[in-house]
Structure 1
Amino acid sequence: MDEIGFLWTDAKMDKHERRWMAMFEALKEYKATHGHCRVPHKEGTLGIWVGTQRRLYTIDKLRRDRQEMLESIGFEWRLKRFVEVKKPEQETLWNSQYAKVVRFKEEYGHTCVPYRYPEDEGLGIWVHNQRIRNKNGTLRPDRKEKLDKVGFTWDFDEIYEKSWLDSYEELKQCYTKKLAIGTPLGKWVDYQRIRFANGSLEPERKAMLDEIGFEWWE
């Protein structure tokens, strides 16, 4: 068979797929030896690969078939962590950001701080990180409880979409009835202009704003 150039591996399988399968087989061997799939990062290539699969799963980027293959051998997506040591400076920083979220909620009525929030980019990133930590099980229970008390939005996409549409309808009413645009809505309007200017505004949303005569430049 070798003499006629027979391909013993699937010819349609590209190098990335072959590498993934090779690592998967290595993980199966690791489990057979150790009884689990919790490969430490210090183990080198396999440990790094295992960590990558968990990160991809956390952000919903892991292919479904790969997820199922890993689960078939008892792969654990969430690992038990050591109790986090509360460092004073970290507590101060976290509480400071939390207070900003509370103020944001009081002003806008929700906690959907945009990732690229122009008034405080650090806050948008911090809020995003809390959602990621909650999803992968690394957010401290006491912190989650505090965020829950202020109605923190864990499912950002769905609520943010509703928030955007609510503001859009409010602006539409202002245009139709020739009403003054208040401060919260005015900030939302400014933010749409900023997103349009930096190219991050979705085309369908720009089209909706164009339909009601939105003024992109004051």
Structure 2
Amino acid sequence: AAGAGGRASRFEQRLEELAAYREQWGHAAPPLGTPLGRWAYAQRGRKAKGALSAERVAALEALGFGWEHPLDAEAAGGDAEALFEAMVARLEAFREENGHCAVKKKHNADPALGYWVNDMRIAKRERRLPAAQQAALEAMGFEWEARRQCGSAFMVGFRELCEYRDANDSIDVEAAAAREGAMEQEVRLAAWARAQRAARAKGLLSDKRVAFLEGIGFEW
């Protein structure tokens, strides 16, 4: 319930953030390296100790919240750098066995590795992955898009827009394309951006693709 003065409690605020996260990403398991992920981890711990009320348990479960996250055991030590190094070692073992780093999110042989790889992809997309960690992963041949997604025309355009953003610190390709002497890439990306807006206006752009674009600051 809201506290004095009608202000929402910290739990309610986080619950709203979790609902928004679920709306954007399609699940209620935020990455552990984020404030929301750490809060989710804490709720699992509170429930395990019997310290989470039935009302709050029900509110979380209504969002599809899971009480076990594959990365919980690895995160228990609280050392983010050690966790990264440990997961990189597991990824290296996967690469040695399979010849690539394209771990599926639902990797039955090592569920934690699958979730961690997905978390790294999201962290890079949201520009919160430390440069040193990104470089270490790229040196291994890390794939920033899941293989089942990366070949679509949308993902080709999306990746190019992300690369443009990283190089220019902006995704306003339409303004860039309108300038005299605009680069061919800017003109091409501007047309692609307009196509995405038109597709969304017609209800033809999936929620997942909308989430991808909004995750990098795309404006409609």
Task: Please say whether Structure 1 and Structure 2 have the same fold, judged by a TM-score greater than 0.5.
Answer: no
Tell me which of the two structures has the higher relative contact order, counting C-alpha pairs closer than 8 angstroms and 6 or more residues apart.
2
Whichever of the two has the greater Rg, that structure is 1
TM-score with structure 1 length normalisation?
Answer: 0.37
